[in-house]
Amino acid sequence: MSETYPRDDFDGVPEGNPVGVHRRTRNPWAPVVPFLLVLVLVPLLAWGVATLIQRNVPEAEVGAAQSQSQPQSQQAQSTVDQAQSDVVIPDSNVPTAAPDDPSATPDEPAGTTEPEGTVDFAAAVTVLNGTTISGYAAEFAGHVTNAGFTNVSATNASTWPTDQNTVFYPSAELRATAEAVAAAAGIANVVEGGFEEAPGSVVVFLIN
């Protein structure tokens, strides 16, 4: 059987056309083209967006920044002017005392006074209970003792010269001592005068 056939119309295919019915010659650049397009178009697109932003946005921001900086600079200048106006230039004609001058003594604070007299913590202090509360005098005597007084006694009162808690002192030299006793006992009323039941003693009389 012969393998040669006579030529027909199907054998006249121009050169370069697809060979066969179902196959076509593939272009070797076809797989590469999409990547090339991405590499070229994406940078161009990014560059275009960046250029657009640089042209539009900075102008508005610069204008706002300038409008905000002007009041701030004006305010800073006014602050400097105010500070300069507040500076007091000392007068060279006014004499000033030298720091080491003994005659230049600082002013004493207003309202401070030295205590009059000396507190005698060994002075006799008698606490008299003019109430019906048992142990009331001993309680206040404890307060006075805790304040540092060493000669404190407590007993019941037999006379009632006042209707409020009072500290009596027999003479002016015991005034500071009486005030210290009153402070320890929490009594505000301090009166100069002797007490018959305890002559020569600072007396804490309790009535309420």
Instruction: Tally the domains of the chain.
Output: 2
Question: Among candidates 168, 81, 59, which has minimal Cα distance to 123?
Answer: 168
* CATH number of the domain enclosing 163: 3.30.70.2390
Q: Crossing angle for the helix pair 136-146 and 175-185, nearest 10 degrees?
A: 120
Range of the domain at 39: 34-68
In a domain, 16, yes or no: no
Would you give the DSSP letter of residue 9? G
Model confidence pLDDT, tens digit, residues 65-101: 555 555 555 665 666 566 555 555 555 555 554 545 5
Whether residue 64 is found in the same domain as residue 135:
no
- pTM strictly above 0.85: no
Across the range 186-202, mean pLDDT stands at: 88
What is the torsion angle, in degrees rounded to the nearest 10, for the CA atoms of residue 31, residue 34, residue 35 and residue 37? 140
Pairing, β 125-129 against β 202-206: parallel
Final residue in a domain of this structure, among 25, 52, 68: 68
Pairing, β 166-169 against β 189-192: parallel
Across the range 39-63, mean pLDDT stands at: 72
In a domain, 29, yes or no: no
Secondary structure (3-state) at 172: helix
pLDDT over 50 at 112, yes or no: no
Position with higher pLDDT, 29 vs 164: 164
Tokens of 202: 């600072």
Instruction: Judge contact between 202 and 119, C-beta under 8 A.
Output: no
Final residue in a domain of this structure, among 42, 68, 94: 68
pLDDT > 70: percent of the chain: 56
In a domain, 25, yes or no: no
Whether residue 129 is found in the same domain as residue 202:
yes
In a domain, 45, yes or no: yes
DSSP-H helix ranges across the chain = 33-86, 136-146, 175-185
Across the range 95-124, mean pLDDT stands at: 58
CA-CA distance, 119 to 178, in Å (whole number)?
Answer: 8
